[in-house]
Amino acid sequence: MQITTPDIGVDKAVVAEILVSVGDTIQENDSIVLLESDKASVEVPSTAAGVVKAILVKQGDDVTEGTVLIELDSEASNAEQEKATDSSAEQSSEPVESAAEADAAQKKTESAEQPQTTGETQEVELKVPDIGVEKAAIAEILVQVGDQIAVDDSVVVAESDKATVEIPSTVAGEVTSIAVKAGDMVKEGTLLLTVKTAGAAPAKPAVVEKSTVAEKPTAPAAEKPVAVKADPVTSTEKPATPSSTDTAKLTDEQQAANAKVYAGPAVRQLARELGVLLAEVKASGEHGRILKDDVFAYVKTRLSQPAAKQAAAPVASGLPPLPDFSSYGGGEVKAMTRLQQVSVPQLSLNNFIPQVTQFDLADITALEAWRGELKEGFKKQGIGLTILAFIAKATAYLLKEEPYFAGHLADDQKSVLLRNEIHMGIAVATPDGLTVPVLRNPDQKSIKQIAQELGELSQKARDKKLSPKDLQGANFTITSLGSIGGTAFTPLVNWPQVAILGLSPATMQPVWNGKDFEPRLILPLSLSYDHRVINGADAARFTRKLTLLLKDIRNILL
């Protein structure tokens, strides 16, 4: 039986830790792996009891929904139970027979939800289900050809820029072929592997079958699927290695050599980020285990060599390799946080967006006074009322009038997708970096509801408890510098969104009222937008309308 990655709401995630070992006896709902995305950490439980036969993923592997994680030998577990039953039979035969019947009945009950077999074998294709993102990278293959897997056993680990996900199997049987390799880019419908089943159909309508039907609409449901070897798409978005070896396109031999290296998932992830072939790194850990320090030492050694000996190929960003700084005091390579690392590809997409930023000033003197009146009452209810709750409400109201600011440029770049609902990303600063949980339908909620949800999302972000679904579906974002300082900044449009609102600290400023100057609390606004979708005049009108709403939020009621 294979335990696979369930739907965790993100495109991909990274295997941060493997919680079981081969030979371990586990129970249903026991945690088997820890998955980590740039937004949350999740423990994946086993969907069945048994003995761990094989672990198909490694630390640092990218996984997606349906990725096989481990293989369980449920028969071995049953054999132990039967052995215990036989031992009891020597003392009393009749009770044993009764117990055996009860055990059989129990097995029958447990198998009620399992696929019914017909006695015939067939090969079923397991494909990537809908994992909530356009594409993901195979971080780890959790099964091998010949492995026996069960329903819900993870088969591969997939990783996106948001999360690491294990993809579970929807059928039980023997793995006959594996169509992907670690590092391959996959999307919904991509063939992962084929499984020989005993005439069994998936226990539930599986995404795998859905993908198969979608690609072969004329094929009967009962027809034996044809196991076609997929042509994996190899990602080219990898940094250039400091080694002479081009790791952007590893050969099968290099991948095999890397797979044999004794290294943890965190180390493998670091090596991928730095473009290092682990097979070339000298291990200093116990039993030949490669440590992070070994990777850093390898990189430092390569950087200290003359520049002529370094790889001249540009990295994925298109920039040339770093020059040789050894003659200028050298330096130390320090890994970025996981959140920073997985944010790089997403932030790099901004290079393709013709972005413009519109600046404006909002008078929030009256709004802040009203907030002060309400704050104590909210506090007694356990709700922190910040100015952001009012801004989110006013912005959501305005987005209903100006839907293009919450839309998406279509793939053909000739049309715009206008969303039916408002889902607002709210940037939250954490010790590991910036994360953006999503506030759902703020236009339909009260200030009190928004304030409460903002507090909950912020706390979950700081505690690393955000689920993948907490981070998906936004069509507009608000980011704030809080009280850090500054007068304005240029927030980056978060593709596929087309606009983002930046808030700088509010300050008291003298404002001319026609007769004299009076102190007013002024909030700087910075609206960045995709110029392909939004015109400058429209952006100026948007910020002007927003300032009027914030000056007197009662306008929302009109």
- Where does 187-264 have alpha helices with state H? 207-215, 252-260
CA 373 to each of CA 60, 190, 368, 399: distance values in angstroms, whole numbers, following the listed order: 50, 56, 9, 28
Distance CA 5, CA 129 (A): 11
User: CA-CA distance, 58 to 61, in Å (whole number)?
Assistant: 6
Q: CA-to-CA distance for 124 and 227, rounded, in angstroms?
A: 7
* Strands of 340-442, DSSP E: 355-363, 408-409, 416-417, 423-426, 428-430, 433-435, 438-440
Other C-beta atoms within 10 Å of 83: how many?
10
The total number of residues shown for the chain amounts to 558
Is 57 exposed, middle or buried (CB count within 10 Å of its CB: 0-12, 13-18, 19+)?
buried
How far is 412 from 390, CA to CA, in rounded Å? 36
Q: Which distant-in-sequence residues (6+ apart) come within 8 Å of 174 by Cβ?
A: 146, 147, 148, 149, 195, 196
Place of tokens 């952007």: 248
Residue 95 in contact with residue 31, Cβ under 8 Å? no
CB-count exposure of residue 455 (10 Å: 0-12, 13-18, 19+): middle
Tokens of 216: 């072969």
Q: Are strands 2-4 and 68-73 parallel, antiparallel or unpaired?
A: antiparallel
* CA gap 89, 97 in Å, rounded: 8
Chain centroid to Cα 103, Å, comes to 41
Q: What span, in angstroms and rounded, lies between the C-alpha atoms of 189 and 37?
A: 22
What backbone phi and psi angles, to 5 degrees, belong to 486? 100, 160
Tokens 């005439």 belong to which residue?
199
What is the set of active-site residues?
A: 531
**What CA–CA distance (Å, rounded) separates 17 from 3?**
16
